[in-house]
A = this chain, B = another copy of it.
Amino acid sequence: MRFFSDNAAAAHPKVIEAIAASNRIDTAYDGDEWSRRLDGAFSDLFETEVRALWVTTGTAANCLSLAALCPPYGGIICHKDAHIEVDEAGAPGFFTGGAKLILVDGPGAKLTPEAVSAACDRIRDDVHQVQPAALSITNATEYGLVYRASEVAALGELARQRGLAFHLDGARLANALASTGDSPADATWRAGVDTLSFGFVKNGGLNAEALILFRTELADEIAVRRKRAGHLASKGRMLAAQILALLEGDLWLDNARAANAAAQALAHAAPGRLLYPVDANEIFLKASADEAARLRSLGIDFYDWGEGEIRLVTSWDQRSEEVDRVAAALSGL
């Protein structure tokens, strides 16, 4: 029973079908019929004109954006536990040509306008200190908390005032929207977001993520950067087809709801152990080494997070009997 990461789950059968169905010759790169439908599909979803590019990983989606939003000599404000800081092997430094991540703290990897403002205020406005050029948040956060649209909007307003571009790492945006009920538009561009890494791989996709540009004028530059970073697949249709399959009939939202529901079931089984509220599909729990061992002896696979802490992540395809068994195991600790 794998609760290790949604990262490693299987792809949805419709995604595999879509790959097979797109397996015929068409124009190379992103000139094919599937890729050419992406802009329209996402413009509909977001209720505004956007440009959408497929990429194969969230790291690439995040860092291609950041490179377009922040000059090599600028800074990107993010949480100290943000994925771009902690788990991307320094990719932001590589893609931007050496921009600096300016780290801000806050519970549950969530940023507040106050914390961001304070970070900006600590920086002297001279050539000796790196000046902030962009703000990046993750929704849902790395600890499974969600920003409501109004919270994103407060950060967006601050970004506007401070002259910062605003990037949203939405590796689990689907889970966040399934949790809050906010519309895609409200949680992004209406809240001031400029670019979005819209995650599909953790939510039923195989290896396709979407990079959504609400500032459409960035698309040409980012398309060049995508090629230059070796991310322009020659048979891009297979990436576009995956995304279109997940957009079809809001399958992406159904998948996220399923994962969230499984997480709620686990959270309710062990309310006293929760380290953070469970807003999306990640559950962080207190558990001693002995308790962790006991869970593992029951065939449950998860991540040791820190001393006395464990992380479980639920996926779109988590089977209910597995969820029940894990919930029972947690209750019984």
Contact = CB atoms under 8 A, between A and B. Distances in A.
A170 to B, nearest CB: 16
Given A20-B16, A223-B127, A235 B86 contact: no
Given A29-B127, A60-B231, 10 more contacts: A7-B235, A72-B72, A73-B221, A91-B227, A91-B229, A93-B100, A94-B97, A94-B228, A127-B232, A206-B238
Contact of A8 (B72, B226, B231, B234): B234
Interface of A: 2, 4-5, 7-11, 16, 19-20, 23-29, 55-57, 59-61, 63-64, 71-73, 75, 86-91, 93-100, 127-131, 201-202, 206-207, 221, 223-235, 238-239, 315
A73 B90 contact: yes
Contact of A73 (B87, B98, B127, B225): B225
Given A87-B129, A89-B130, A90-B130, A60 B230 contact: yes
A5 B23 contact: no
Nearest to A91: B228
Identify the interface centre among A87, A89, A97, A100: most chain B CB within 10 Å of its CB. A89
Nearest to A26: B8
A87 B10 CA distance: 35
Contacts of A202: 234
A23 B89 CA distance: 27
A51 to B, nearest CB: 14
Contacts of A8: 25-28, 234-235
Given A8-B235, A23-B206, A59 B230 contact: yes
Contacts of A55: 230
Given A19-B19, A207-B238, A229-B94, A73 B224 contact: yes
A234 B90 contact: no
A57 B232 contact: yes
A20 B23 contact: no
A191 to B, nearest CB: 26
B229 A128 contact: no
A23 B10 contact: yes
A11 B207 contact: no
A105 to B, nearest CB: 13
